[in-house]
Structure formats: structure tokens, C-alpha cells
Amino acid sequence: MFIEGISPYAFKIGPIAVHWYGIFMAISFLVGSYYLYTMGKRLNLDEDFLLNLAIVVIIAGIVGARLMFVLTNYPEWFLKDPIQIIKIWEGGLSWHGALLGGFLAGWPYCRRYGINPNVVADLTVLGLSFGYIIVRIGNIFNQEVLGRMTEFSFGRWPAQLIGSSIGLVLLVRYLYLQNKNLPPGYQFWSFIWWHQILRALIEETVRENPLFLVHYVNEKWGIGFFTLTQLITPFVVAFAYFMYRSTSGHGYGGYGYGGYGYGGYRRRHY
């Protein structure tokens, strides 16, 4: 969706400009962290552990998201203009980089304290889904993640709203499955599975992204193959399946749904 003349700024205070993108991202962090904290407390997970985990994952996710975006789009910035790397308020974050950064930081952090990482990962799905919904809306204000032009009456595909719709579907799915007796990790890894497939087949197909290896564009329909995300989708899906199969049912020290509460964590301070 492209809106002529829309401002990326919510407001300005002197030289300081607050972007809508940053506001939406902050909201997604707050919602995800609050849900993790609230649900974790119900499962007798330690308060300090939950708060520290949220901070660790958020920081690692932002760093991973920015580095992945720069590596795949503007690698020359590392040598020619490194200051651009830290300008996350202008947009330019990679979803896959955020997931990878958060995963690499959060997974070992949970294991360090004897928590089944799959149990905690399930609690992040609401925040991930909600974040995808509103950050894609933030992309509209930054005039990025644009859809391809078509020969239809509506012109350009509203790629950001399509992305938000995918997030909404996955959020509803998560809430529905909460009432089911599912093994630890199912919610998280199936979320990764379905998000990747839906994004590759729908959002990326109509998104105006550079194409790699095979270059096919149908200008009438406004679709194209293959973007980088589409090419890596089989690997991400295979990784999600492998991780679920290899970790589901393994409680990391005997902890699972039973034991000392959900995830087996004894409340303690450290």
C-alpha cells in the first residue's frame, strides 16, 4: 500500500522525531513481554527470570534483525557508512534476523536455568503474531514493504496489509490452540512453519522485492518469483520441523509439563 504524502513521524520535539514505526514496534515489545510475564507467572516461573529473558530476547532480536537486513540489502554499509547500521528508527529490520537473534539468545538462557525452552517459546507466539500485525502497519508509514503494481483497478498490491492479515490469522490460531492439550514447542514451531509458508506463498509473491536465481514477473497479476525469502523457506520449514521433532517430549533435566510446574522451574532468586 502506497499513500501519497503520508508522514513517517508521529510527532517531533525539536530535533527529535518519533516515528510511527518505532511506536508500533515498542507496543509489540510491551504486549509480547507482558503476555510472557503474565503467563509465565501463572506457570510458577520466576519473576526475575521472565523479565531478564524478555530484555535479553528483545535486544538480541533487534540486533539480529538489523544485521540481517544490512547483510542482505546493504552490506557495503559495514565499510562505507557504518552509522547507517544503527538507524533502525528509519525502518529496515529483517523478520528472520529478529527470530534468529532472539532464538540464539533465549534458547541457551532458558537451558542455563533449567527451563524447557520449548515451554517458554510457546509463550512468545502471541507477541510475535501481534508484532507482525502492527509492524507491517508501521511499514505503511515508512512507505516500505510495497506490493507490486498490477494491471487491475486497485493498482498496487497492499503487501503490508496482507502481511498483517497473516499475523492476524496466526494470532487467532494460537488463541484457539491454547485450549488444546499440546506438547511443549508445538505452538512455537508450528507458528514458524505456517508463518514462513504463508509469507512465501502469499506476501512475498506480491511484494516488490528483488528476485534471485529465477526471475519471473507477471506484470498483469503483479506477482514474482523467487525472492530471497521464498528461496530460504524450505530450509526454515525443515529446521522448524527438525527442532520440534528433536526437542518435543524432552524436558531438559526431566522437566516438561509436570514436575515443578510448567517447564519445571522452581521459583528462586538469583
Task: Detail the residues annotated as belonging to a binding site.
Answer: 136
For the chain, give the longest Cα–Cα distance. 62
**CA distance to 50, 106, 130, per residue, from 59 (Å):** 14, 11, 18
**Cell numbers standing for residue 93:** 529490520
Q: How far apart are CA 154 and CA 139, in angstroms?
A: 19
Whether 256 and 236 have beta carbons less than 8 Å apart is answered as no
Whether 130 and 171 have beta carbons less than 8 Å apart is answered as yes
First-to-last C-alpha distance (Å) of the chain: 48
List helix spans (H) across the chain: 20-42, 47-73, 77-80, 95-112, 117-122, 125-141, 159-177, 186-198, 204-206, 228-247
Closest CA to 189 of 164, 170, 205, 162: 170
152 burial level (CB within 10 Å; 0-12, 13-18, 19+)? exposed
Q: How far apart are CA 118 and CA 115, in angstroms?
A: 9
